[in-house]
Chains A and B, each alone.
Chain A
Amino acid sequence: MTDLLLFNATNGLIIGAFYALMAIGLSLILNLSNVINFAHGGFLVIGAYLSYTLTPYLGFWGALIVAPFLTAAIGLIVERLLIRRVYGRDPLYSLLLTFGLAFIIEDGTRQIWGALGKPTSIPAFLSKPLSYQFFFITGYRLFMVAIVVLAIALLFVLLRYTRAGIRVRAGTLDLETVAALGINIRTLRSLNFAIGIFLAGLAGALASGQLGLEPTMGDGLLMPSFIAIIVGGVGSLTGTLLGGLMIGVATGLTAVVFPSASDAIMYVIMAVVLLVRPRGLLGEEGMLT
């Protein structure tokens, strides 16, 4: 039993890291632009399908690098054409807009790539377990965690040490003042949105190695990401990271003792956090990092 719990806790961390990658992209966009991006799961699917389509030409590694950038480019176009129009309005507008967008992306991918799932493979050396006992730690899962850690580390460096990053953080605190200082917040928001979507695209390219690739694959991943943000605290990227990991571990452990509640446990955690500490674990309204 102890073994089983330990196994599942480790396994939960691996899954949690993946949730965190999704959630941080979502959180970035929410923090600066006040847009709750429902289409985030859709962008994940776009990233996954692009990597599938590019693999024959660029190989697994090439596709893994190029697909997130292409997804970010699509994100940028969507931001310019649609999302920009709802900035500063009641959040309901952005909810409705991105909700509709999620449907359009889902049906769009179905039109382009078909309703039937697509087979995706990963390089053989990654698709093996590392040891007989720890069979659930495969090369690919470790690789996923490594990429997530790398991406998040880069993001934190970007936000802390680059001019654009500092502006994003400042904008999260007080966009009005940032604008008054002569910084072009339109560009800032576009850049920030593109980075968020890049992370969704990366999550998609990684997920397609492990999950079945089909137009609804993002739906199941969107909910845990939202919960990670709420649990971690709106406005805090570190909180989001923590929230993602917590949810991963909690679902893993619940699957040992009460499997059919492994989905529900996320909501239980959310409810408890909201009752005890409504702003989330590390949430201070408007704070980033």
Chain B
Amino acid sequence: MKNPVLSLTTDRRTVLKGAAAAGALQIASPFVVPVWAADNLKIGICNPLTGTYAAPGKNEQTGCQLAADQINAKGGILGRKIELLIEDSTSGDAGTAVQKTRKLIDRDHVNFLVGNVNSALAQAMAQVSNEKGVLHIVPGGHTDPITGTDCKWNVFRVCNTTRMEANSICPLLFKTYGKKWHFITPDYAFGHTLYQGCEANLKKLGGTVTGNELTPLGITDFSAYLIKARAANPDVLVVLVQGNDMVNCLKQISQFGIDKQIHVAGTQQELESVEAMPPEARVGVWMFEWYWKQAAGTAGLDQFIADIRKRSGGKVPTARTWFGYVTIHAYALACAKAKSIEAKAVAKALSDMELPPEVKLQPNKVYFRGGDHQLMLSAFIGQLNTKGDGDPENLFKVNSIVAGESIAPSIAETGCKMQMPA
């Protein structure tokens, strides 16, 4: 008889099962951290805490927490303290995000919902929040339909739309670098709409696309795409991938010396990504959605930076931190304005509400546009610093701060038909 301890039948089926589970590893999700109290005002945050988007997810949470603490220190919202209920949505599993959203709404009875970094997850969450009639702000998911063709009375967004991002920087790239562009685009909702925005801009300006490399999310090696891109001989290589993909891509671009032959640029860039790159990979012209080292004398900015540094081990705030901060403050301001926490009343108050200086933390007028519930925030256009300028975290030189109004498409162009419930 065969000794079971020594039994050694590794068959192919077992390995196959293993491989299937390895696929699941990339999307599975672990834990939950809610806290309870009786008559607090509950805010549910469903954002990535694990996976590719864990870093931006955590920064958004830090911003939310700072705002909540500031509001609670002043007596809360309409006399009720804010309590944040935090769930890990994972970085890419819409099923988990939806399930946790339902849990926050049905079981925890949150008054207000926040999320998600991932565009696709944000869209999925918006379906649920709309069905349940819960007010929902998307702090950092960029794809157009959220405040465009899929806009909803209860859903607002803080970060830019992909079209706003494209509009903010394309004319500058065209003027300075040339008219033949080659794209490296992440193959999902965000990437597709961002590419469409850039392509539309380029066509209008009279340029041509030499190619668009659609890359799977989470890909580690960009060399095959870069070989193709260089062979096409464009004037500009436009990098649209995000997060760790951006780090990998720029790292490989600089090792291949492509930045010495072709101009490298892109639309959205984030401090989280730039900090993870070695100095030589920090090249090109980009737009930040918010940046900490900006117009001198911006009201409240220094205090905000100091507060965040205290909470994040000395790290400066990023655009993500600011998104979270704005999200909670905007909700509190709207409740105060509506003198209610009822979703429809707060949604009404948020529409066309302008953010005060200590919340907007930038020069231009910043407000939620009533027609599509999109925040009109500025775009910070500039160049990456190879090494920190004056501060190790000052890795971007802002050349201009463009007002959101001037880069946003009209409401008719967004395709949003906002319908408030009776």
Contacts and interface: CB of A to CB of B under 8 A. Distances in A.
B170 to A, nearest CB: 23
B26 A263 contact: no
B43 to A, nearest CB: 22
Contacts of B273: 117
Given A34-B8, A176-B3, A260-B214, A230 B25 contact: no
Nearest to A127: B255
Contacts of B252: 210
Contact of A217 (B15, B220, B254, B315): B220
Interface string A199-232: 0000000010011111111011111001101100
Contacts of B219: 220, 263
A229 B51 CA distance: 25
A262 B224 contact: yes
Contact of B54 (A31, A110, A172): A110
Interface residues of A, number: 82
Contacts of B247: 117, 211-212, 214
Given A36-B14, A223-B23, A119 B58 contact: no
B256 A119 contact: no
A106 B52 CA distance: 11
Contacts of A117: 55, 244, 247, 272-273, 275-276
Given A223-B22, A260-B216, A280 B224 contact: no
Interface string B361-372: 000000000000
Contact of A255 (B26, B225, B277, B279): B225
B19 A223 contact: yes
A107 B50 contact: yes
Contacts of A172: 8
Interface stretch (B74-82, B129-137, B227-235): B227-235
Interface string A88-116: 10010001000100110011001000111
Interface in A101-152: 102-103, 106-107, 110, 114-122, 127-129, 135-136, 138, 140
A217 B4 contact: no
Given A95-B17, A95-B21, A106-B50, A251 B7 contact: no
11 contacts: A34-B10, A88-B6, A103-B28, A103-B30, A117-B244, A117-B247, A122-B255, A174-B8, A179-B6, A215-B54, A223-B19
Interface of B: 2-12, 14-19, 21-23, 25-26, 28, 30, 50-52, 54-55, 57-58, 187, 213-216, 218-221, 223-228, 230-231, 244, 247-248, 251-252, 254-258, 272-273, 275-280, 315
Given A210-B248, A216-B26, 18 more contacts: A8-B224, A11-B223, A11-B224, A12-B224, A36-B14, A91-B10, A106-B50, A110-B54, A116-B55, A129-B255, A135-B230, A185-B6, A217-B244, A226-B18, A226-B19, A230-B19, A259-B214, A259-B225
